[in-house]
Amino acid sequence: MHQYQQGTYTKQAHKAIPEGCFEEEQGLKGFFGPASHLIKKEPSTRWQKIEGPLKPRMFDLVPAFANPVDQRILFNRDLSIGVKTVLPQSENSKNAFRNADGDQLYFCHQGSGVFLTEYGLLNYRAGHYIVVPKCLTHSIVPEEPSQFLTVENRTSHYQEPDRGLVGRHAIYDTAALEKPDLDQMQAYLKSLGDGPIRIHVKRLDQITKFEYDKSIYDTVGWKGDLFPFTLHTDDMMPLMSHRAHLPPSAHTTFVAKEFVICTFLPRPLESDEDALKVPFYHQNIDYDEVLFYHRGDFFSRDNLHAGMMSLHPAGFPHGPHPKAVKSIKGKTQTNEYAVMIDSRWPLEVDESAGGLELSEYWKSWQSK
């Protein structure tokens, strides 16, 4: 379809929006497909009433994180998003886990410790992604209580994003991916006296227990391009343009066949006088969007705290809260750390997550 325009429109998206008006992007294929920008007198988030199952959802995961837990919150055929809390205890180094349902990604929200794997030891602390490919055996051994956001990739494997025009070292350099260390692992196991002898294997969400007579972590060497790794937010280099707001896809960290994971990190705000500084109102028509608030000041939302998670299903526009639009004027920097998961197909809410939901979230765009 060729581009067409009428009435008041802008030459460049997200820039020089007429005073007193709002821009709304309606786009296909998650910021990569056909899109239009509507200039409106009011944001479309000014709904007075929503009846029916489709509404923005918000979950406060802090109570769930407070206890040892492994709980699914959102899911569909391709992915499962959950919370996991592991406390330091001697049993951790006796047991191992193997996920035969898919690649397992952990994002450490709080805590620190090590992952033991057949490939070596990985250290983690808050802000680390730990990516464990499907069926690779691992044990989480926390040094302090550890809270993870988990994203299970059930129908593909995690890959790096296509960095296109900005080159292969942008966003994060592959040298920043931390690899498992076999020497550290062997020293660690020696300090423990022994390693795990039990493996819990998950396949079709059912657990099978394997038991051995000696430690399963007995690898003496390996080579290959399949292994667990970590990536810390401190080693990520967010893209920005000082002239025009970039779409969320500029912050892609990992891609799967049917979803992407993006990381929003502190960065300078756009400095051009006529640049939009808050995220633009939009309908990401083909995707359900999940945002986990890790830490910092969440500048585009009101009344949020770290440990919350929102779900904005496809089917309606969303964007910044009215207070954020007003307060952005004096700001020059964002200070937010958030993980976004955009799913190509609709997500369902696990029935166990009902008690974590803030039922009035859909009203939060109303001016106060």
Provide, rounded to whole angstroms, the least separation between the CB of residue 183 and Fe ion: 44
Q: Are 183 and 126 in contact (CB under 8 A)?
A: no
Tokens 């199952």: give the residue: 53
How far apart are the C-alpha atoms of 162 and 255, rounded to whole Å? 9
Under rule CB under 5 A, how many of the chain's residues touch Fe ion? 2
H or E stretch including 63?
helix 62-65
Provide, rounded to whole angstroms, the least separation between the CB of residue 318 and Fe ion: 6
Which CB, 284 or 343, lies closer to Fe ion?
A: 284
How far apart are the C-alpha atoms of 65 and 240, rounded to whole Å? 33
Which CB, 147 or 253, lies closer to Fe ion?
A: 253
Provide, rounded to whole angstroms, the least separation between the CB of residue 25 and Fe ion: 9
Judged by CB under 5 A, the stretch of 129-137, 192-200, 265-273, 277-285 that binds Fe ion is: 277-285
Which CB, 178 or 289, lies closer to Fe ion?
A: 289
Which CB, 109 or 282, lies closer to Fe ion?
A: 282
Provide, rounded to whole angstroms, the least separation between the CB of residue 363 and Fe ion: 19
Residue nearest to Fe ion (CB): 289
Judged by CB under 5 A, the stretch of 14-22, 196-204, 283-291, 302-310 that binds Fe ion is: 283-291
Which CB, 103 or 289, lies closer to Fe ion?
A: 289
Judged by CB under 5 A, the stretch of 86-94, 153-161, 172-180, 286-294 that binds Fe ion is: 286-294
Provide, rounded to whole angstroms, the least separation between the CB of residue 366 and Fe ion: 19
Beta strand 308-312 pairing with 288-297: antiparallel
Interface with Fe ion, residue 24, by CB under 5 A: no
| Phi, psi for residue 100 in degrees, rounded to 5 | -90, 10
Provide, rounded to whole angstroms, the least separation between the CB of residue 317 and Fe ion: 9
Provide, rounded to whole angstroms, the least separation between the CB of residue 192 and Fe ion: 45
Which CB, 272 or 286, lies closer to Fe ion?
A: 286
Which CB, 186 or 345, lies closer to Fe ion?
A: 345
How far apart are the C-alpha atoms of 87 and 25, rounded to whole Å? 44
Contacts of 124 (CB under 8 A, 6+ apart): 106, 108, 112, 113, 114, 115, 130, 146, 230
Judged by CB under 5 A, the stretch of 77-85, 164-172, 251-259, 284-292 that binds Fe ion is: 284-292
Provide, rounded to whole angstroms, the least separation between the CB of residue 54 and Fe ion: 15
How far apart are the C-alpha atoms of 337 and 296, rounded to whole Å? 6
Interface with Fe ion, residue 23, by CB under 5 A: no
Interface with Fe ion, residue 289, by CB under 5 A: yes
Which CB, 55 or 198, lies closer to Fe ion?
A: 55
Contacts of 113 (CB under 8 A, 6+ apart): 86, 88, 123, 124, 140, 141, 142, 143, 144, 146
| Secondary structure (DSSP) of 322-344 | HHHHHHGGG--B-EEEEEEEEES
Three-state DSSP class for residue 22: strand
Rg (CA), the chain: 22
Q: Which two tokens stand for residue 335?
A: 């200070």
Provide, rounded to whole angstroms, the least separation between the CB of residue 100 and Fe ion: 33
Judged by CB under 5 A, the stretch of 62-70, 178-186, 280-288, 328-336 that binds Fe ion is: 280-288
Q: Are 242 and 145 in contact (CB under 8 A)?
A: no
Provide, rounded to whole angstroms, the least separation between the CB of residue 251 and Fe ion: 12
Q: Are 177 and 171 in contact (CB under 8 A)?
A: no
Which CB, 56 or 196, lies closer to Fe ion?
A: 56
User: How distant is the alpha carbon of residue 71 from its chain centre?
Assistant: 16
Contacts of 90 (CB under 8 A, 6+ apart): none
Which CB, 230 or 284, lies closer to Fe ion?
A: 284
Give contact residues for Fe ion (rule: CB under 5 A). 284, 289
